[in-house]
């Protein structure tokens, strides 16, 4: 991937560059669309400093926000949460989910065959639509609001009210 792929104002094909988070104990699967430029740069999920995912998830779990990638991975595993994205690759302008085209889905069967997933959550309308499009025979998902910095129309309180549903499946 060239360095300008995924940067603001540039259209380019991007690929998912880091593995999913899961183990045999995972029960809840949280799916985004595809990692943002900041997440690809740091090699982990929801790493833009203004993304509200980790703040919200940790509020749901009533725990401190881990400050390293390894600690975030361990937090998810300790609460039986699997993290991945619907897409393996796509064309996208910057981090704009609305610009996604020519997408190739991840092989989610890997997680479903290995874990006993009891609930699937998608983070945002685009992740939800892509999950429905590419995985119509998989378990129905629960669409949560996007925690992206671009989604400021939804308050932190509203996001937390929706994300608290995750706790029912842990």
- Residue 97: pLDDT band with limits 50, 70, 90: confident
Global confidence as pTM: 0.91
Residue 33, SS3 per DSSP: coil
* pLDDT band at residue 95 using 50, 70 and 90 as cut-offs: confident
Q: What pLDDT band is residue 96 in, cutting at 50, 70 and 90?
A: confident
Across residues 54-80, what is the average pLDDT? 97
Active-site residue (options: 51, 70, 106, 151): 51
Residue 45 tokens read as 């999920």
For residue 51, indicate whether it is catalytic.
Answer: yes
- Torsional class of 63: left (φ above 0), alpha (ψ -120 to 50), beta (otherwise): beta
Q: What per-residue confidence (pLDDT) applies to 11?
A: 62
pLDDT at 10: 52
* CATH class, range 11-169: alpha beta
- Report the range out of 54-63, 87-96, 145-154 with the highest average pLDDT: 54-63
Q: Identify the residue with better confidence: 18 or 6.
A: 18
Task: Name the burial class of residue 11, with classes exposed (0-12), middle (13-18) and buried (19+) by CB atoms within 10 angstroms of its CB.
Answer: middle
pLDDT at 163: 98
pLDDT for the residue numbered 132: 98
pLDDT of residue 150: 83
pLDDT confidence of 6, banded at 50, 70, 90?
very low
Per-residue pLDDT band at 128 (split at 50, 70, 90): very high
The stretch 102-124 carries a mean pLDDT of 97
Q: Is 67 exposed, middle or buried (0-12, 13-18, 19+ CB in 10 A)?
A: exposed
Q: How far is CA 109 from the centre of its chain?
A: 16
Contact 56, 163 (CB under 8 A): yes
Ordered strands of the 11-15 beta sheet: 11-15, 87-93, 96-105
Using the structure block, give the residue that is written with the tokens 């549903």: 165
Instruction: Return the pLDDT at 149.
Output: 84
């Amino acid at each position: 991937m060239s360095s300008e792929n995924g940067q603001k104002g540039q259209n380019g094909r991007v690929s998912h560059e880091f593995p999913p988070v899961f183990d045999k104990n995972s029960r809840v699967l949280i799916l985004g669309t595809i990692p943002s430029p900041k997440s690809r740069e740091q090699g982990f999920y929801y790493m833009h400093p203004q993304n509200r995912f980790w703040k919200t998830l940790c509020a749901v779990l009533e725990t401190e926000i881990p400050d390293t990638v390894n600690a975030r991975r361990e937090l998810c595993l300790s609460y039986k949460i699997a993290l991945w994205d619907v897409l393996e690759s796509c064309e996208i302008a910057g981090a704009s989910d609305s610009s996604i085209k020519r997408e190739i889905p991840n092989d989610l069967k890997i997680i479903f065959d290995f874990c006993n997933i009891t609930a699937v959550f998608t983070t945002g309308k685009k992740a939800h639509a892509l999950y429905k499009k590419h995985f119509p025979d998989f378990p129905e998902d629960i669409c949560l609001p996007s925690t992206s910095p671009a989604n400021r129309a939804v308050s932190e309180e509203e996001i937390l009210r929706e994300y608290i549903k995750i706790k029912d499946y842990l």
